[in-house]
Structure formats: C-alpha cells, structure tokens
Structure 1
Amino acid sequence: MTDPQLALTMLGLFIVLVFLGFPIAFTLMAMGIGFGYYAYFDAARQWRQYLRLDETATSWDQWSLWFDGFLNNRIFDLFINQTYTVMSNEVLTAVPLFLFMGYIVERANIVDRLFSTLNIASKRIPGSMGVAALVTCALFATATGIVGAVVTLMGLLALPAMLKARYNPSFASGIICAGGTLGILIPPSIMLIVYAAASGVSIVRLYAGALLPGLILVGLYLLYVVGRSILQPSAAPRPTKEEVPDIPMATMLRMIVVSFVPLAFLILAVLGSILFGLATPTEAAAIGALGGLVLAIGYRALTFQRLRESVYLTVRTTAMVCWLFVGSYTFSSVFSYLGGEQIISEFVTGLDITPLQFLLLAQLIIFLLGWPLEWSEIIIIFVPIFLPLLEIFGIDPLFFGILVALNLQTSFLTPPMAMSAYYLKGIAPPQVKLTHIFAGIMPFLLMVFIAMAVVYLVPGSVYYLPELFYGR
C-alpha cells in the first residue's frame, strides 16, 4: 500500500470510528500518532543503533536500546510541538473569556426580564410574542454563543408563554430553535474564532464580514414570523389586554433601561472595541467577561454556586476545543505528509469544475457533515481540507468562512439530527411532539439557504464592513 493510499485509509477509518461513537479528539490523536509512527519510522537508524551493541551487552542493554529506539520517532516531537502551538495560540485565548462571559450572563436572570420587556414593547406588531422571542434569542445567543443553553433557557421561558397565548406549537418551536442558533454566526462568535485559528484569516475581518449576513438572516427570520402571523392569524393570535396589559410610557422606558440597555451595551462595547481597533479580540473578551460579572452583580444574581458552575463549564468547553485542535493538527500533519492532501487536491482539480460548483460541493459536504458532527469538529477537522483548494479556485477564505458559518446553522436545524430540536424537546411540555418541532424549523431552514444565496449573489454584504474599517 502506497503512502497516499494509506492516508485515504486513515481518513476513512477515522470517519468509521466517529460514527461508532469514539471520542473525536482522542481518536484524532491516537490515529495521528499511530499512522505517524509508521510515516516517520526510520528503519536505518534503528538498525544502526542495534549495531552499536557488542558481545558484552546484557539483556537490559538490549531492552533499553530497543525502548529508546521506539520513542526516538519524530511523531512524538510533532505531537508535543502541536500541543504547545495550540496552547500558546493568541487567537484561541479569547475562547475561554467569551465562554465565561456567556455562561455568567446565562445565569444572571437577564433573559426573563428582556423577553417580558420586548413582549410588551412589540405587542402591536403581528406575531408580537414570536418577534419578542426571536429578538431575545438573537441578543442572548450573541452574548453567549452557546446554542444548547439559549434553546434550553428560551424553551423554559418563552415556549410555555407562547403556548398559553394560543400560538401554534410548531410555529413557536421553530422560532426558538432557529433563534437559538444565531450565536455561532453573529459576532462575537466563538465559531468564527475557531475558524480564524484554523484558517489564518484575521478574526477582526471575520467579525466585520459576518455582521451584515447575520443581520440579513435575522431579518429573514423576522420577515417570516411577521408575514405568517399576518397571513395565518391563528398561528400567532394577537395578545389580549389580560395577557399583555397596557402600561405607561415612563414604566416602559424604565423596563427597557433595566432589562435591554445593559445587555445591549455589553454586546456593543465588546464588538465595537474589536471592530474599531480599540482592543484585540482577547482584550475585548476580557472586557466582556468582566462586564458579565458586573451585570450578574447588578441584577443580584451572582452567587458562589453560579460562579463555580460558570468556571467549570468554561474550563470543560475550552479543553474540548483545544484538544480537538491538538488532535486535528497532528492528524492533518500526518495526513498531508503521507500525500493525502495532494490526492484530494488532484481529484478535485481533475473534476474540471467552476468556482461556483466547488463552492456548492463544499457547502453540500459541510451540510451533510452537520448531521452527525458538532460545528467545532467540522471547523477544526474537515474545513482545513478545503482551505488549500480555495487558492486554486480563486475563492477568498474570508468569504468561504462566512458561507460556512451560515451553513452551520443548518447542522442544528436539519432533521433527523437537528440538535436544537432535541434540546427543545428535552424541556418542552408533553403536548409538543418532536414532529411538531421538526415541522416548525423547516421554514427557518429555507431562510438559511436564502441567506446563503443572498450572500453569494451580493458579496458586498461580506466585504463592505471589512473594507470600510480596514481597507482592502
């Protein structure tokens, strides 16, 4: 078996093991070290070491020399160097800080106040409670970036209220599932940080490029919610005065100041400091983490138990991301050394396809990978396979990354493996069936594809802000 064939065997075996349920990070490391030991094995050096033994050598000398020869393989140096490279990556330093900001904001009891305020403020809009839930999801998802937490918390808070207000269960479920996934696209997104680390694209340009596509997707969601509420009033009945009472304007302004302004200010401060060059992403993330603590203290929601939970979840998630990077870097280095990357490049270029066809093929593969895999695994493991091909087809990695971020929304919304649906089903009332949730998210899935088409047809939606802030 030639080295390129061995590389393809390595990739195929990894996919099989992933589907069998093995831990992905440790599978990557084990396969990288295993196949890498063969790839970097130097038989001549081993033989020269054996010849150093003379007739007086003891069995211990033989075993010691054999063991030293076993460890004397460049794969172990590669693994150590890759581990150090990941742990010292300045881009990834922002990950634990943004995660801590998200977890502490999640526990600060902000969401219930925000949803109640937006529900009252938007009561004259068709589908007002759905609009309030979607905007709350968008803001909360932007502040946390943790899909499961947003869907679960909003499912506990907004779904019962929407069902009590006689909303169609499928419609209400779709709003929460779709809104909860926006945090992996709208800055400050942890997914974009991970993509920047994997691709070498500037994180500040990624944040600027993702802002308008994220707002386009939110606008499409809102357009669908309001439009369906107008065309099908039974799906989202207007609230009665008993459900949403009239309150004085002064009271309304006070509620907005208390519930909406602090969280919005925190998000804008973090994002604005990055986009305007006032702080690096890591420095802005530190500001966000401190701001999250201040919010929790201000709302009198910071307890030692909540702080300990936030720290624990931050450490656990950060360790998962970092070890995925270590495993992926080791695996991809061995895969490339064996010639696997060249085989894939020659195969794709041999198809004689256009840049548009390549984009469609790449996005289709990422869409299918979203069924069994998390976004972090797709970005860290499989997206780097496409990155060397972008230059061949003349595709900007920044533009490609924004399309991938949009596409990964579908990994949470596509049945039968729509994780958002399962997050919501786990806490939904018994009358809300999984089939109801699946039916509710399908229109929002269509909105994602429309947003991807808009971004492709109007690339200025990606490039306008990066060029405005940082030039070409």
Structure 2
Amino acid sequence: MTDPQVALLMLGIFISLVFLGFPIAFTLMALGIGFGYYAYFDASRMWRAFNRLGEEADGWTSASTWVEGFFNNRIFDLFINQTYTVMSNEVLTAIPLFLFMGYIVERANIVDRLFTTLNIASKNIPGSMGVAALVTCALFATATGIVGAVVTLMGLLALPAMLKSRYDHAFASGIICAGGTLGILIPPSIMLIVYAASSGVSIVRLYAAALLPGLTLVGLYLVYIIGRAILQPHVAPRPAPGEVPDVPGGKLFLMLLTSFFPLAVLILAVLGSILFGLATPTEAASIGALGGMVLAVLYRAMTFERLRESVYLTVRTTAMVCWLFVGSYTFSAVFSYLGGEQVIADFVGSLDLTPFQFLILAQIIIFLLGWPLEWSEIIIIFVPIFLPLLRIFDIDPLFFGVLVALNLQTSFLTPPMAMSAYYLKGIAPAQVRLTQIFAGSLPYVGMVFVCMALMYLFPQIVFALPEFVYGAR
C-alpha cells in the first residue's frame, strides 16, 4: 500500500471505531501513535540504538536496549510536543474559566426568577410563555454554554408551566430544545473558542462575527413562536384570567432589576470587554467566573458543596476537550504526513465545484456528522480537514466558522442522536413522548437553514460587526 492509501485506511478505521462506541480521544491517540510509528519508522535509527550499548552480558541491560530501540521513533516526540502545545495554548485557557462561570451561574438559582419575570412582562404577546421560555433559554445558554444544563433546568422549570397552561406538548418541547442550544453559537461561546484554536482565526473577530447571526437566529425562533401562536392558537393558548398576575410597572421593573439585568450585565461585561479590546478572552473569562461567584453569593446560592461540584465538572469537561485536541493534533499530523490531506484536496479539486457548491457539500457533511457525534468532536477532528480547502475556493475561514457554528445547532435537534431531545425526555412528565419532542424540534432545524441562507445572501450579517469594530482585514 502507498502512504496515501494507508492514510485513508487510518481514517476509515477511525470512523468505524467511533460508530462502534470506542472513546474518541483515546482512539485518536492510539491510531495516531500506531500509524505514526509506521509513518516515522527509521530502521537505521532503531539499529543505532541497539548497537550503541554493544553486546551486553547483563540480560536486564539487553532488555533495556531493546526497549530503547523500540521507542526510538519520532512519533513519541510528536505526541509529547502536541500535548505540550495544547496545554500551553493561550486561547484554550479561556475554556475552564468560561465553563466554571457557566456551572456557577447554573447553580445561582437565577433562572426561575428570570422565567417568572419574563412571563409576566410578555403576557400580552401571543405565545407569551413560549417567548419567555425562549428568551430565558437564550440568556441562560449564553451565560453557561452548557446545552445539557440549560435544557434540563428549563425542562424542570418551564415545561411543566407550559403544559399546565395547555400548550401543545410538541410545541412546548421544541422551544426548550432549540433555546437550550443557542449557547454554542452566541458569544461568549466555548465552541467558538475551540474553532479558533483549531483554525487560527482570531477569537475576538470570531465573537464579533457570530453575534449578529446568533441574534438573527433568536429572532427567527421568536417569529416562528409568535406566528404559530397567532395562526394556531390552540398550540399556545393565551393565559386564562388570573393565571399570570397583574404587576404594577414599578414592581415589574424591580423584578427585572433583580433577575434579568444581573445576568445580562454579566454577559455584556464579559463580551464587551473582549470585543472592545479591554481584556483578552482569558481575562474576560476570569471576570465572568468571578462575576458568577458574586451572583451566586448575592442570590444566597453559594455553598461549599456547589463550589466543589462546579470545580469538578469544570475539570472533567476541560480534560475531555484537551485530550480531544491532543488526539486530534497527533492524528491529523500523521494523516497529513502520509498524504491523506493532499488526497482529499485533489479529490475535491477534481470535482470542479464552485465555492457555493463546496460550502453546500461541506455543510451537508457536517450536518450528517452531527447525528452520531458531538460538536466538540466535529470541530476538533473533522473541521480541520476542510480548512486547507478554504484557500482553494477563496472562502474566509471566519465566515466558514460561523456557518459551522450555526449548522451544529442541528446536531442537538435532529434524530436519531438529538441530545437536546434526550436531555428533555429524561426529566419531562411521562405524558410527553420522545416522538413529540422530535416533532417539536424539527421546525427549528428549518429556521437554522433559513439563517444560513440569509448569511450567504447577505454576508455582511457576519462581516459587518468585525469590520466596524476592527476594520477590514
């Protein structure tokens, strides 16, 4: 077999093992080291190690000589260097801080107040409780970036309230599932940090580029909820008299001041300090983590047990992402060295695609990968395969990254592996069926595609803010 054929075999084995359920990070590392040993094998180097000590009478010394000869391969140097590169990556250091901020905010007991206040404030809007649930999801998801936590917490809080108000089961479930995923798109997003680290795109410009598409998607979701409530009133009945209390304007403002504004100010402080160059993403994440702790203290939700749990979850998630990076870097380095990337580039080039056709093909592949894989695995493992091809088609990696971030919303909403649906089903009342949750989520997949089409037709949705703040590249 030629080296490019070995590279394709390596990729095929990896995909097969992933579908069989093997741990992805360690599968990447094992295949990278295994095939890398073949790729970097140098017989003369190994035998030099064997001959360096000469013929030894001592059996232990002879055994150690064989071990030294076996490990005298550059793949082990590459693996160590890639591990160090990941651990010293300044962009990735923001991940544990943003995660810690999210876990602390999740435990600050702010979401129930926020949902109640927004429900009262929007009671005259069609589908008011759905609107309140989506806005709460969007704000909470943006602050935490943890899809499972948002869907679970809102499922426990908002779903029973909507069902009690006679909302259609599928309609109510879809709102929570779709709203819970927004945190991986709207800055400060951990997914965008991971993409920036993989692609070399400035995280600051990426945050600026993703903000308007994220708000556009929220707007499309709201239009769908309100429009559906108007056209089909039975799916979102208006509140019965007395169901939502009448609150004087002054008291409502005070409720907003103690629920909506603290979380909004925390998000704006973190995001604003990054976008306007007042702090690096890591420094802003530190501010956010401290602000989350202050909120927890002010809401009397800070306990040692919650702090310990937040630290543990932060360390566990960070370790998963970092080992994925180590495995992916090792795998991709060997894959490229064997000529795999060139084979893919030559194949795509031979298809004679236009830039638009390439974007469609790439997004279809990423959409399909979202069925069996999580966003972290897609961004770290598969997106780097597309990055070298962007130069061929003259596509800005900033634009491509925002498209991918939008596309990955669907990975949580499309069966068979719609994780948002499974998160919600795990805590939903028994009468809410999984098929209803799937049905309620699918219209939001359509909204994602509409938003992606708007981005392509009007690319200034992506480029306007970074060009206004930082100037054209």
Q: TM-score, normalised by structure 2?
A: 0.98
C-alpha change, 1:42 and 1:227, in structure 2 (3 Å) is same
1:325 to partner: Cα distance:
0.3
Residue type of the alignment partner of 1:354: T
SS at match of 2:427: coil
| CA–CA separation in structure 1 for the residues paired with 2:58 and 2:14 | 42
Quick one: percent identity of the two aligned structures?
Answer: 81
| CA–CA separation in structure 2 for the residues paired with 1:215 and 1:250 | 28
Tell me if 1:77 matches 2:101: no
Tell me if 1:200 matches 2:200: yes
1:49 to partner: Cα distance:
3.9
Report the equivalent of 1:342.
342
Whether the aligned pair in 1 keeps the contact of 2:83 and 2:326 (CA below 8 Å) is yes
Report the equivalent of 2:171.
171
Report the equivalent of 2:148.
148
| CA–CA separation in structure 2 for the residues paired with 1:176 and 1:53 | 67
SS at match of 1:260: helix
| CA–CA separation in structure 2 for the residues paired with 1:192 and 1:177 | 20
Report the equivalent of 2:370.
370
SS at match of 1:92: coil
**1:183-213 Cα deviation digits (max 9, x unpaired):** 0000000000000000000000000000000
C-alpha change, 1:56 and 1:117, in structure 2 (3 Å) is closer
What residue ranges of structure 1 are gaps of 5+ in the alignment?
Answer: none
**1:36-60 Cα deviation digits (max 9, x unpaired):** 1111111122234445565665544
SS at match of 1:166: coil
What residue ranges of structure 2 are gaps of 5+ in the alignment?
Answer: none
* Cα RMSD, aligned residues only: 1.0
Residue type of the alignment partner of 1:142: T
Report the equivalent of 1:106.
106
**1:280-332 Cα deviation digits (max 9, x unpaired):** 10000000000000000000011111111100000000000000000000000
Residue type of the alignment partner of 2:20: L
| CA–CA separation in structure 1 for the residues paired with 2:56 and 2:217 | 76
1:63 to partner: Cα distance:
2.3
**1:236-280 Cα deviation digits (max 9, x unpaired):** 011123210111111111101011110000000000111111111
Report the equivalent of 2:230.
230
Report the equivalent of 2:115.
115
1:344 to partner: Cα distance:
0.6
C-alpha change, 1:391 and 1:423, in structure 2 (3 Å) is same
C-alpha change, 1:455 and 1:53, in structure 2 (3 Å) is same
Residue type of the alignment partner of 1:300: R
Whether the aligned pair in 1 keeps the contact of 2:56 and 2:62 (CA below 8 Å) is no
Residue type of the alignment partner of 2:282: T
**1:6-58 Cα deviation digits (max 9, x unpaired):** 10000000001111111100111111111111111111222344455656655
Report the equivalent of 2:450.
450
- Using the TM superposition, name which of 55-64 and 454-463 deviates more: 55-64
| CA–CA separation in structure 1 for the residues paired with 2:50 and 2:305 | 59
- Using the TM superposition, name which of 196-205 and 45-54 deviates more: 45-54
| CA–CA separation in structure 2 for the residues paired with 1:64 and 1:149 | 50
Report the equivalent of 2:358.
358
1:425 to partner: Cα distance:
0.3
Report the equivalent of 1:245.
245
Whether the aligned pair in 1 keeps the contact of 2:46 and 2:73 (CA below 8 Å) is no
Residue type of the alignment partner of 1:454: L
| CA–CA separation in structure 2 for the residues paired with 1:55 and 1:226 | 83
Residue type of the alignment partner of 1:419: M
Report the equivalent of 2:399.
399
| CA–CA separation in structure 2 for the residues paired with 1:54 and 1:195 | 50
C-alpha change, 1:311 and 1:48, in structure 2 (3 Å) is closer
Residue type of the alignment partner of 1:30: A
Residue type of the alignment partner of 1:225: I
Q: TM-score, normalised by structure 1?
A: 0.99
Report the equivalent of 1:130.
130
**1:62-89 Cα deviation digits (max 9, x unpaired):** 3222111111111111111100100010
